[in-house]
Chains A and B, each alone.
Chain A
Amino acid sequence: MIHPVRAVRAVPRRTWLRYRFVFLALAPIMALFFYLRVLPTGQAIVMSFFKWELIKPAEQFLGFDNYINLLKDENFRLAFFNTTIFAVATTILSVLLALLLATLIARLVGGRIGAGIELLYFAPVLVSVVPVTLGWREIFNYQHGILNSLLAGIGIGPQPWLSDPTMTLVAVIILSVWKQLGYNMIILLVGMRAIPRLYQEAAAVDGASAWQQFRHITLPLLAPVTLFVIVITTISSYNVFTQVYVLASDVQGAPGKLVRVIVYDIFENGFRFFKMGYAAAEAVYLFLIVIVLTIIQFRFLRGSRV
Chain B
Amino acid sequence: MRPNRLVPNTIRWIVIVLLLIGGIAMVFPLLWLVSTSLRPAPELLLVPPRLLPQHWTLDNYAKAFASAPLLLYLWNSFVFAMISTIFIILTSTVAGYVFAKFRFPGNNFLFMLVLATAIVPFEIYMVPLFLQINALKLVNTQLGLVLPFLVLSYGIFFMRQNTQTSVPDELLDAARIDGMSETGIMLRFVPRLLGPAISALAILAFIQAWTAFIWPLLILNKPTLFPMELGLSQFANTRVDFGLTSAGAVIAMLPTLIAFLVLRRRIVEGITLTGLRG
Q: Which residues of A contact B (CB under 8 A)?
A: 18-19, 21-22, 25-26, 29-30, 32-33, 35-41, 43-44, 47, 54, 57, 101, 104-110, 113-114, 117, 119-124, 126-132, 134-139, 141, 143-144, 146, 149, 152-153, 178, 180-183, 186-187, 190, 192-197, 200-201, 204, 210, 218, 228, 232-233, 235-236, 239, 241-242, 245-246, 249, 253, 255, 263, 266-267, 270-271, 276, 279-280, 283-284, 286-287, 290-291, 294
Which one of B1, B217, B268 contacts A107 once the chains associate, using CB atoms below 8 Å?
B1
Q: A128-B253, A241-B213 are in contact. Are A236 and B278 (CB under 8 A)?
A: yes
Which one of B36, B47, B237, B257 contacts A255 once the chains associate, using CB atoms below 8 Å?
B237
* CB <8 Å contact, A294 and B119: yes
Q: In the complex, A110→B7 CA distance in Å?
A: 13
Q: In the complex, A14→B70 CA distance in Å?
A: 56
Q: In the complex, A241→B126 CA distance in Å?
A: 13
Which one of A35, A131, A283 contacts B123 once the chains associate, using CB atoms below 8 Å?
A283
* CB <8 Å contact, A131 and B33: yes
Which one of A114, A193, A232, A249 contacts B275 once the chains associate, using CB atoms below 8 Å?
A232
Chain A residues with CB under 8 Å of B83's CB are none
Chain A residues with CB under 8 Å of B128's CB are 39-41, 43-44, 47, 280
Chain A to chain B contacts (Cβ below 8 Å), 15 pairs: A21-B182, A37-B117, A106-B3, A108-B15, A121-B23, A130-B233, A138-B32, A143-B47, A192-B1, A228-B275, A233-B278, A236-B277, A245-B213, A283-B125, A284-B124
Chain A residues with CB under 8 Å of B202's CB are none
Q: Chain B at the A interface: mostly helix, strand, loop or mixed? A: helix
Q: Chain A at the B interface: mostly helix, strand, loop or mixed? A: helix
Chain B residues with CB under 8 Å of A38's CB are 113, 117
* CB <8 Å contact, B210 and A200: no
User: A122-B264, A127-B260, A286-B123 are known contacts; what are 18 more A-B pairs with Cβ within 8 Å?
Assistant: A25-B98, A37-B125, A41-B117, A43-B128, A43-B132, A107-B3, A108-B15, A108-B16, A123-B27, A124-B29, A131-B252, A134-B249, A135-B32, A138-B33, A218-B1, A235-B277, A242-B213, A266-B123
* CB <8 Å contact, B27 and A138: no
Q: Which of B162-209 contact A (CB under 8 A)?
A: 182-183, 186
Q: A108-B11, A109-B12, A249-B237 are in contact. Are A117 and B186 (CB under 8 A)?
A: no
Q: Which residues of B contact A (CB under 8 A)?
A: 1-7, 11-12, 15-16, 19-20, 22-24, 26-27, 29-30, 32-33, 36, 44-49, 91, 94-95, 98, 102, 104, 110, 113-114, 117, 119-132, 134, 147-148, 150-151, 153, 156, 182-183, 186, 210-211, 213-214, 217-218, 228-230, 232-233, 236-238, 242, 245-246, 248-250, 252-253, 256-257, 260-261, 264, 267-268, 271-272, 275-278
